[in-house]
Structure 1
Amino acid sequence: MKYNKITAIIQARMGSTRLPGKVLRKLEDRTVLGHVITRCLAVPSVSNVIVATSNLEQDDVIADEAAEYGVYCYRGSEHHVLSRFFEAAQVVKTDVVVRVTSDCPLLDPAITEQLIQSFMNGEYDYARIKLTNSFPRGLDSEVFTFKSLKQAYEKAKTEYEREHVTPYIYNNPEQFRIYSMPNLEDHSKYRLTLDTPADWELISRIYQEIYTGSIFGWREVLDLLQKKTEWVKINEEVEQAHSGE
């Protein structure tokens, strides 16, 4: 199935618990959020990119950073992130949402595009990257129809469902056609997301080693970490948080 408009919505705010202000930390020539925006803009099927942040004053800088990259910033509820996403998607009248979190500066546009194509070809309501015994965390993206998002917005009851956007969808497979895209090899031991000082140490090293001003893919990261095996230990004990902001 083809859709007229596919919008990447990047979830971002300054109030991270374990690494406050992480999304505006500089990774070489741009901020973490800047890298995420750049990578989302490079996904071929994505029509436009939006940053969705809270309406708190502390997140004014998030809106300013989005403007630096020429992308729209929607501001909504701090904690009811599901409503923030629904309202953002509604404003731009999109058919499909690609949900990305701002703590993934190693997001690979090619993998996200592969997910979108799988979503469309299978005519699913919701698709995501498979992380268990599959891809590394940090390539995370989810794709879902606006219709499914609207249904979740109208029917989600619990605080968890409202705070994390998609649980209502993927926890109700009887209502939605769901797909989890696997990787043929298990690379789940690699943690490529940014949530703690240890994550920052690893990602900073990766960027210093590989980045030359253009987007590099996750396979290049994998090749590097297979050579620098001691680097993997930097953040291997980090327990994953759930907010993604």
Structure 2
Amino acid sequence: MTFPRPARALCLPALAALLSLAPPLTASALAAEPPSRLDIQAQAELSVVPDRATLEARLWEHTPAVPQGAEREADAEALRQARQRLEERAAALIQRLEAEGLASEAITAGSLQVQPQHLPMARHDDDEGVPQVRTRLLRPVSIEVEDLAQLPGLLDALTEAGVNALDGVRYDLSDREAATDEALVKALEKARHKAKLMAETLGIELGEVIAASETRAPVFQPRMMAMSDARAEGAAPTEYRPGTITIEAGVNVSWALDDAP
């Protein structure tokens, strides 16, 4: 439906009158509006001393190397003998660790692993050599240490028991949750301190907290250390110091601002 031309002409003056009644919204007026909130971002680090550790060691035995293609003929008996030697060594190791005062439930012997290995060919003057094959039987051992004072003695026991590999020490905490909570509290306290400092300096009044979020959730990662024993003959035992574990946390907190008196 279309309006007659005179009706349109009457609407334009009325619209202009309404617009003249509204106050102008300028950039200076917007800039004069005081902020209604204060946003603070804070990060904190917490250094804690570990109170437990995990030792990882490996024992292995090999079957005799045989020419490739002939390993199946002698493999069954060779595997049986290698496994018997490995199990005897693992049992002796567990007994040695228990003699150091370690509880039996703190020792975990992993599953048996059977790995074929292809050895470099032994070349002779009159031929190109024959590829050799053998089988490695491996059993990992994991040791949970609740008292770090036991660590030097346990490392000595592993060495004396003839383990084939020591994969280092993983330091840990018995209560990870408490440590990550403490890191988060530290970040929140830092945010509150910064907010109060800014409010006092700027002459503004803090109201209630209206929003809070984590910018970096606390992440706990056990600390790995390679083991080294550089003691000389007759020297004092090596000290194993766990150092500290660092936990980082970050928060973003917003406060409402009260009107100044």
Instruction: Report which of the two has the higher share of strand.
Output: 2
- Normalised to the residue count of structure 2, the TM-score between the two structures is 0.23
Larger Rg, first or second structure (1 or 2) = 2
Instruction: Report which of the two has the higher share of helix.
Output: 1
Of structures 1 and 2, the one scoring higher in RCO (CA 8 A, sep 6+) is 2
- Normalised to the residue count of structure 1, the TM-score between the two structures is 0.25
